[in-house]
A and B are shown apart, each in its own frame.
Chain A
Amino acid sequence: MRFTLEVTMTNSEGALERLLGRLRQRGFGILALNADVSGDYASLGARITVESMRPVEAALKQIAKLYDVEQVKVHHAEQEHAKRQNQPAELCLSL
Chain B
Amino acid sequence: MKGAEIVIRALEKEGVDTVFGYPGGAIMPLYDALVDSKLKHILVRHEQAAALAADGYARHSGRVGVCFATSGPGATNLITGIANAFLDSVPMVAITGQVATPFIGTDAFQEVDIFGISMPVVKHSFLVRRIEDLASTIHEAFQIARTGRPGPVLVDLPKDVAIAELDIVAFDDTPDETPARPDAHQVAIARQMIEKSAKPLVYAGGGIRIAGATGELRSFVDATGIPVVTTLQGIGSVPSTHELNLGMLGMHGTKQANLAVQECDLLICVAARFDDRVTGKLKEFAPHAKVIHMDIDPAEVSKLRAADCSIVGDVKVALNFLHVRPQIDEWKERCLSNKAAYEFNYDVKTEHVYAPKMLRQLSVQAAERETVISCDVGQHQMWVAQHCQFQSPEAHLTSGGLGTMGYGLPGAVGAQLANPNARVINVSGDGSIMMNIQELATIKRYNLPVKIVLFDNQALGMVRQWQELFFSERYSEVDLSDNPDFAKVAEAFGIPAIKVDKPDQVDDAIKQILESEGPLLAHVMIDPRENVWPLVPPGKSNTEMMEAKAV
Answer yes or no: A58 CB below 8 A from chain B CBs.
yes
Answer yes or no: B120 CB below 8 A from chain A CBs.
yes
> Whole-angstrom distance between the alpha carbons of A67 and B177 in the complex?
14
Which residue of chain B lies nearest to A24 when distances are taken between CB atoms in the complex? Answer: B120
Answer yes or no: B299 CB below 8 A from chain A CBs.
yes
> Whole-angstrom distance between the alpha carbons of A23 and B120 in the complex?
11
Q: Which residues of B contact A57 (CB under 8 A)?
A: 302
Q: Which residues of B contact A62 (CB under 8 A)?
A: 299
Answer yes or no: A13 CB below 8 A from chain B CBs.
yes
Q: Are A13 and B126 in contact (CB under 8 A)?
A: yes
A13-B127, A25-B120 known; 5 new pairs, CB 8 Å cut-off, are A13-B129, A17-B116, A21-B120, A57-B302, A62-B299
Q: Which residues of A contact B115 (CB under 8 A)?
A: 13-14
Q: Are B123 and A67 in contact (CB under 8 A)?
A: yes
A-B contact pairs, 29 of them (CB 8 A): A13-B115, A13-B126, A13-B127, A13-B129, A14-B115, A14-B116, A14-B119, A14-B125, A14-B127, A17-B116, A17-B119, A18-B119, A21-B119, A21-B120, A25-B120, A57-B302, A58-B299, A58-B303, A61-B298, A61-B299, A61-B303, A62-B299, A64-B298, A64-B299, A65-B297, A65-B299, A67-B123, A67-B124, A67-B144
Number of A-B contacts defined by CB within 8 Å: 29
Within 8 A of A (CB), among B476-512: none
Which residue of chain B lies nearest to A68 when distances are taken between CB atoms in the complex? Answer: B124
Contact with A along B103-130 (1 / 0, CB 8 A): 0000000000001100110011111010
Contact with B along A61-86 (1 / 0, CB 8 A): 11011010000000000000000000
- The 3 A-B pairs of least Cβ separation, nearest first, read A61-B299, A67-B124, A13-B127
Which residue of chain A lies nearest to B303 when distances are taken between CB atoms in the complex? Answer: A58
Quote the shortest CB–CB distance from A66 to chain B (angstroms): 8
Which residue of chain B lies nearest to A60 when distances are taken between CB atoms in the complex? Answer: B299
Contact with B along A8-51 (1 / 0, CB 8 A): 00000110011001000100000000000000000000000000
> Whole-angstrom distance between the alpha carbons of A14 and B124 in the complex?
10
Q: Which residues of A contact B123 (CB under 8 A)?
A: 67
> Whole-angstrom distance between the alpha carbons of A32 and B299 in the complex?
24
Quote the shortest CB–CB distance from B171 to chain A (angstroms): 21
Which residue of chain B lies nearest to A66 when distances are taken between CB atoms in the complex? Answer: B124
Q: How many residues of A are in contact with the other chain, CB < 8 A? A: 13
Q: Residues on B close to A: CB < 8 A? A: 115-116, 119-120, 123-127, 129, 144, 297-299, 302-303
The prevalent SS among residues of A at the interface is helix
Q: Which residues of B contact A64 (CB under 8 A)?
A: 298-299
Q: Which residues of A contact B298 (CB under 8 A)?
A: 61, 64
Which residue of chain A lies nearest to B115 when distances are taken between CB atoms in the complex? Answer: A14
Which residue of chain A lies nearest to B123 when distances are taken between CB atoms in the complex? Answer: A67
Q: Which residues of A contact B116 (CB under 8 A)?
A: 14, 17
> Whole-angstrom distance between the alpha carbons of A77 and B116 in the complex?
32
> Whole-angstrom distance between the alpha carbons of A62 and B302 in the complex?
12
Q: Which residues of A contact B126 (CB under 8 A)?
A: 13
Q: Which residues of B contact A61 (CB under 8 A)?
A: 298-299, 303
Q: Which residues of B contact A14 (CB under 8 A)?
A: 115-116, 119, 125, 127
> Whole-angstrom distance between the alpha carbons of A65 and B303 in the complex?
14
> Whole-angstrom distance between the alpha carbons of A58 and B144 in the complex?
22
Which residue of chain A lies nearest to B126 when distances are taken between CB atoms in the complex? Answer: A13
> Whole-angstrom distance between the alpha carbons of A85 and B124 in the complex?
37
Q: Which residues of B contact A58 (CB under 8 A)?
A: 299, 303
> Whole-angstrom distance between the alpha carbons of A21 and B121 in the complex?
11
Quote the shortest CB–CB distance from B291 to chain A (angstroms): 16
Q: Which residues of B contact A18 (CB under 8 A)?
A: 119
Quote the shortest CB–CB distance from B122 to chain A (angstroms): 10
Quote the shortest CB–CB distance from A20 to chain B (angstroms): 10
> Whole-angstrom distance between the alpha carbons of A18 and B303 in the complex?
20
> Whole-angstrom distance between the alpha carbons of A64 and B300 in the complex?
12
Quote the shortest CB–CB distance from A8 to chain B (angstroms): 17
> Whole-angstrom distance between the alpha carbons of A67 and B151 in the complex?
12
> Whole-angstrom distance between the alpha carbons of A76 and B356 in the complex?
54
Q: Which residues of B contact A65 (CB under 8 A)?
A: 297, 299
Which residue of chain B lies nearest to A22 when distances are taken between CB atoms in the complex? Answer: B120
> Whole-angstrom distance between the alpha carbons of A57 and B301 in the complex?
10
> Whole-angstrom distance between the alpha carbons of A67 and B126 in the complex?
11
Q: Which residues of A contact B297 (CB under 8 A)?
A: 65
> Whole-angstrom distance between the alpha carbons of A62 and B119 in the complex?
14
> Whole-angstrom distance between the alpha carbons of A14 and B153 in the complex?
14
Quote the shortest CB–CB distance from A73 to chain B (angstroms): 16
> Whole-angstrom distance between the alpha carbons of A25 and B299 in the complex?
14
Q: Which residues of A contact B299 (CB under 8 A)?
A: 58, 61-62, 64-65
> Whole-angstrom distance between the alpha carbons of A15 and B123 in the complex?
13
Quote the shortest CB–CB distance from A77 to chain B (angstroms): 22
